[in-house]
Structures are given as structure tokens and as C-alpha cells.
A and B are shown apart, each in its own frame.
Chain A
Amino acid sequence: MALQEKYKELLDTAKTLGIANLQVREQDNVLYIDGEAPTGTAKDQLWAVYGKLDPDFRTGDVVMNINVSSMAPGGKAIVTTESSNLNIRKGPGTDQPIVGKAAHNEVVTLVSKTNDQWWLIRTDGGAEGYAFAQYLSPQNT
């Protein structure tokens, strides 16, 4: 329970932000927080609180798996690479051949979610393939 005390502000923020299916478990001195944030902003806010309580994420006593629920199949997402194009690959993995590119800030269609890391996407140009979820953000934020 000590970790839940340490990260009380984080857990309270999760409740305030309306994180769905919130699950908080403590196992082997690591606090596991799972849930779905309503928006990308909510997820960012949560991570900001985590970064404040554990500067630079040094302690390693939290695993926070928060997805954004507005990222749903059929929805749109914006490519949030730093500046470069986003690779679209044949399969979910960086070892897979590149079949297309999506430009920085381009809006793409989410086709289906393979896992928390990979989305099958389609560009308006018709290219379809797998893109790394880290570089896709919900369009509404």
C-alpha cells in the first residue's frame, strides 16, 4: 500500500480525469496502473503528474499503461512525428518492409488496432499498413 500512498496524487488525478477501466495493482513493489484516457490531453496530464512525483521516471516503481479511448477503429488520427514522415509497414514490427509513408501532421484513418504499439492505418492517398502507435495522436486534441 505504500506505493499507493506515494502516488496518491497520480491515482486521484486518474479518477478526476475520468480514466475508464482504471485498475491499480501493486505487485512486487511495482504499482501497475491500467486504464483508458478519454483524450490524449488527459493522458498527457496524467504523465505530467507521474513525472512530477517521480522526476525523470527514475524509481521504476510504476508501470502506467494508459491508452486513449478516442483512438478507435474508424476514427481519425494525426501523425505526430517530430518532423519526419511516418513509416507505414507491411506488418506490425520495425523489421517489416515499408509500404508507404504518412507525412508529419497528416490525418490518417485508423483501421484496426493490432496491439498497444501498432495500428493498421489508411492514408487519404490510399496507402494501408501498420504504423507505430506512439506517433499517432487522437485528432481532437
Chain B
Amino acid sequence: MRKNIRFLSGLLLAFVIPCLLLSSCKPKDSDIQAAIEAKKKDMPEMAGITVMVSGGVVTLSGEYKDETSKADCEAAVKGIKGVKNIIDNTTITPPPAAVAPVTIAADDALTKGVSDATKDYPTVKAAVKDGIVTLTGEIKRADLTKLMMSLHTLQPKKIDNQLTIK
């Protein structure tokens, strides 16, 4: 038993300790790179990230879709044997700018605007309900675009054109 321990400590002194001092025993940069590339295959959030390894220092660049992906990927890279440090040059894709909802005029204002716009076209009848302008009656083809241009500035929800065009 005692002999065994001696033997093991001898082994430790003879091989393991010198080995720790020699860089050749540590995982090589190429091994780290390969390990990260392998991880990349399992982690779709890492797809847009470029990896460079130099002396055990991993430089990450590219774009993550969000903070969670970034944290997950960094944790995965840190967990790889031989990685000493991570230089993070990545960015996070900004979320798309929130689109303001379309402003729809209230029926009162819309009704007034529609009556102004259709005043010069006595054959055109217009009804407004819930932001929808319904046009019935008749109009001359030459006047149609002009009337439409005018109605479209009133912020209606929709224009339902049932006009008979002469």
C-alpha cells in the first residue's frame, strides 16, 4: 500500500508536475476552437458569432439576438477546458423599433371631414361608422381620385368605395 502511494507520488513528480509547466500539455488553441465549434452546432443562438482563440483567450465577435443568448453562449464557452479568458466584442441586435399604432379619427370628426370633402359632389353619399367610410351613389371618373385623396387625409380606418363610376 505504502509502496503504491510512493509510486504514485513519484509518478506525479516525474510526469504530472513537469507537464503542468509545459504548455504542450494544456489543451491547444485549436482544440479549444474545435470544442467551441462543436458547441456552436448545438446552440443556434451562437450561429452569428465568430470565435478566435489565442493562448487560451477566446475572442467572441458578432451579434446575439438577445441578452439570454449572450449569457448562455458565454457560459458554454467558459465551461470549455483550457479557456482562460473571454474577450467579448459581441453586440446584441436591438429590438425592432416599436411601431406606433395607426391613429384613427373619431367618428364625429370623421363625419364632419367627410361631409366637407363630399360637399361638392352632391351625387355622392357617405356614411361613417366605427371609422369606416362607406361611399355610395355616383361620381364622375374624373372626380374620383380627387375625392379619394381628400378622404384619405381624414384618418379613416378604411374606405369602402361602392360608388357607381360614370
Query: Are the C-beta atoms of A27 and B101 separated by less than 8 Å?
Result: yes
Contact residues of A between 86 and 126, Cβ < 8 Å to B: 93-94, 116-117
Chain B interface, >50% SS class = mixed
Min CB gap B129→A, angstroms: 14
Contact A67 B153, CB 8 Å, known A56-B161, A60-B161: yes
In the complex, B84 has a CB within 8 A of chain A:
no
In the complex, B41 has a CB within 8 A of chain A:
no
In the complex, A51 has a CB within 8 A of chain B:
yes
Min CB gap A21→B, angstroms: 12
Number of interface residues of B (CB under 8 A): 27
Query: Are the C-beta atoms of A93 and B112 separated by less than 8 Å?
Result: yes
In the complex, B102 has a CB within 8 A of chain A:
yes
Min CB gap B133→A, angstroms: 9
- List residues of chain A with CB within 8 A of the CB of B165: 56
0 or 1 for each of B151-162: is its CB under 8 Å from A? (1 = yes): 011111111110
Query: Are the C-beta atoms of A116 and B145 separated by less than 8 Å?
Result: no
In the complex, B150 has a CB within 8 A of chain A:
yes
Q: Which of A27, A30, A60, A134 contacts B146 (CB 8 A)?
A: A134
24 cross-chain CB contacts under 8 A = A25-B99, A25-B100, A30-B158, A32-B102, A56-B165, A57-B144, A60-B159, A61-B158, A63-B152, A63-B156, A63-B157, A63-B159, A65-B153, A65-B155, A66-B149, A66-B152, A93-B112, A117-B113, A117-B116, A117-B117, A117-B150, A132-B117, A134-B146, A134-B149
Known: A25-B101, A43-B149, A134-B117. 6 other contacts (CB 8 A): A25-B100, A27-B102, A47-B149, A61-B158, A63-B152, A94-B115
